[in-house]
Structure 1
Amino acid sequence: MNIVFAGTPVFAAQALQAIIDAGFNVPLVLTQPDRPSGRGMKLTASPVKQVALSHNIAVAQPTSLKLDGKYPLEAAEARVTLAAVEADIMVVAAYGLILPADVLTMPKHGCINIHASLLPRWRGAAPIHRAIEAGDAQTGITLMQMDVGLDTGDMLAIQSCDIAANTTTATLHDTLATMGANMVVEYLQALQNGNPPSATPQPAEGITYAQKIDKAESLLNWTQDASILEHKIRAFDPAPGCAAKVDDAQSFKVWAAQVLSHDASSLPAGTIINVSKQGIDVACGSGTLRITEAQRAGGKRLPVAQFLDSCSLTAGMRLVC
């Protein structure tokens, strides 16, 4: 069985490695073009490309697969390459490019997607972040038969996991990457043996969309409830992080916090109530949030006790809302 794999980040790379380790033939990998990365902004291959090259798998990196888009020549070339391998199925995970309708039908069994949510909740680009931000108790992986809609295809398999009180996007990403890798291997084995699970349409209710994370969202709005801010801080770890603004010239990143109280404070939102080695307590629109890990500009992530050695925050100061 010839399997084409399309993906880009670490989440996808883990699935590709699992497919290779399971003994499946992967003649071609599609991934995003190399991007500048690091302080030197050196062109860097995606994690998926790195896995593919380490196994001597051919790699195609079109900027687009749309013949009527900005890069029709690249799209046409990629389609020729894809057709030549006569794929039985394409596995897609966080690829980052839209697959046109005719590309979806090129493999014998179409294209399946490893999506990091319990569809139809959190269709879209940032399902892991948004599940934590919303305070969801559970999320998971849905294997989906792809169609032309945005994560609207029929479900082939679904598995859930809990979101704990200390779960961050970083930790949940790793859990779901492993889960997705195992699930897609199980599905491919079942398909190869002639007994794949039947596809199930997604429920018509409970649809939500996980919009792409915008850096402008990173600034904490202290007029919000303390629990909402705490969820957001975990959701934006490791990227883009949440920021607390002292004034027009000063800000720092907040990496960890805990809800100290749900009671409304008599102080204006954003007021620093207390500063100690245990944390920086800030009045919110409702409740009090204790910052326990922070980072000043140009510095490292530090527990508050160490962060305060280089940051002169005091009780009574007010953070910008």
Structure 2
Amino acid sequence: MSKPLRIVFAGTPDFSVPPLQALLKAGHEIVGVYTQPDRPAGRGMKLRPSPVKAKALEHNLPVFQPQTLRNADALAQLAALRPDVMVVVAYGLILPQAVLDIPTHGCLNIHASLLPRWRGAAPIQRAIEAGDAETGVTIMQMDAGLDTGPMLLKKRTPILEEDTAQTLHDRLSQLGAEAIVETLDQLDSLVPEPQNDSEATYAAKLRKEEGAIDWQQPAAVIKRKIHAFNPWPTAYTSWQGKPLKLLTATALPEQSAAAPGTVTAVHRDGIDIATGEGTLRVHGLQPAGKRPMAAADFANGHALLGTRLGEA
């Protein structure tokens, strides 16, 4: 489209900020920003605005924070903004059909996977955990289903060996920003592509208990979990009865005769741990009550060699 669009933007976390900035830079008119209500945070549990709200206020954009979009007042408020399109990025509220019908060109969602793979709440983490070679973002025309709408545009990126959920999150956020601007530029000519439901997978929300490491698993599987769960909820084990979070690692093919979970080597690159298949080299970790640190630094102050992680 050649002319600027009237856009209602809906998003909440850090992931949503680059797309908002990109739309502003592209010259579109942001007529309203919808975001989750302020939440208590920090030691004092003071109300804290979402990252999207903070960025919107920097640009003097009108901010709306309804608890729901399912009542008449909320629908009337949105309709009064007369949006050409609504751009939705990790907003946190389900949009009823009445909302989807308000913008002239409907509601477009920036989803952090190559749909129909990884519909749902945690597509970035599940892609790493599953060992996918690549992922990306999909611009989707929203419908009433869960990430089921027709696709308008995709951008791809490889999942690198060193990627964690955080590094991939940051890269996909920027990719989503590029993709939504490109989509809006071509909105009149893009042909929506229906998703193949038979190829769909579901990215379930992460649970803290999933982070527990089973040393009987192959090193490659454990490594993927460590990277997928960094920074939250983190993968964890224990050492001498105390919790130990593992943050970054490499899977090595060398098999040890030691019992899974045993620390078999300590060196400047980290600590090597026997697993059910291969060896896991841990580079970064976080002991209970401490800051994240290099595994080698932790090993310097503790007698790890020959001890077994995960034992009660």
Same fold (TM over 0.5): yes
Instruction: Check 1:318–1:129 CA distance in 2 against 1; reply closer, same or farther (3 A cut).
Output: closer
Alignment of 1:1-321 (within 5 A): 1-66=5-70, 75-191=71-187, 195-246=188-239, 249-261=241-253, 263=255, 265-320=256-311
CA positional deviation for 1:99: 0.5
Q: Return the offset for 1:158.
A: 0.9
* Structure 1 residues 267 and 101, CA gap change in structure 2 (3 angstroms): same
User: 1:272, 1:319 within 8 Å by CA — same for their partners in 2?
Assistant: no
Q: What is the CA distance between 1:39 and its match in structure 2? A: 3.1
Per-residue CA deviation, residues 225-257 of structure 1 (Å, 9 max, x unaligned), is: 11011011111122222111225x411111111
In structure 1, what is the Cα distance between the partners aligned to 2:267 and 2:121? 39
**Alpha-carbon shift at residue 113 of structure 1 (Å):** 0.3
- Comparing 116-125 with 304-313, greater Cα deviation is found at 304-313
Normalised to the residue count of structure 1, the TM-score between the two structures is: 0.91
- Matched to 1:107, the amino acid is P
For these two proteins, the number of residue pairs brought into alignment is: 308
Contact 1:275 1:315 survives alignment (8 Å): no
Distance in 1 (alpha carbons) for counterparts of 2:254 and 2:78: 56
Aligned residues: CA RMSD? 1.7
> Could you give the per-residue CA deviations for residues 136-191 of structure 1, whole angstroms, max 9, x where no partner exists?
00101100000011100000001111111111111111111111111111111223
Q: In the TM superposition, what is the alpha-carbon distance from 1:43 to its structure 2 partner?
A: 1.4
Distance in 1 separating the partners of 2:205 and 2:287: 26
* CA drift at 1:318: 4.0
Q: 5+ residue gaps in structure 1?
A: 67-74
* TM-score of the two chains, using structure 2 as the length reference: 0.93
TM-aligned CA deviation for residue 21 of structure 1: 1.2
Name the CA shift for 1:232/1:254 in 2 (closer, same or farther; >3 Å). Answer: same
Q: Distance between the aligned counterparts of 1:285 and 1:278, measured in 2?
A: 22
Residue 317 of structure 1, CA deviation: 2.7
Matched residues in 2 for 1:113 and 1:45: separation?
22
Q: Distance in 2 between matches of 1:320 and 1:39?
A: 32
State the SS of the aligned residue for 1:205.
helix
- The answer to whether the Cα contact below 8 Å between 2:75 and 2:98 also exists between their aligned partners in 1 is no
Once the two structures are TM-superposed, the CA of residue 35 in structure 1 deviates from its matched residue by 1.3
